[in-house]
Amino acid sequence: MSNQKGKHLLDEVREIMRLKKYSIHTERSYCDWIKRFIVDIT
């Protein structure tokens, strides 16, 4: 279940970043950071 929530969060982050016209490199960096953060706190 937590994997689905994690994917949901990342989907929302990607959608918002695309709406704000962030570069794909920035989007990937932010999503990678979020994934690492989630793994560290669980």
For CA atoms 32, 36, 41, 42, the dihedral sign is: positive
**Alpha helices, DSSP H, located in the chain:** 2-19, 24-41
Q: Give the range of the structural domain holding residue 23, as residue numbers without chain letter.
A: 2-41
Residue 24 one-letter amino acid: I
Cβ partners under 8 Å of residue 14, min gap 6: 27, 31
CA distance 17 to 14: 5
The pLDDT tens digits of the residues spanning 13-42 come to: 999 999 999 999 999 999 999 999 999 998
Number of domains in the chain: 1
Q: Is the pLDDT of residue 10 over 60?
A: yes
Model confidence pTM above 0.85: no
pLDDT of residue 14: 96
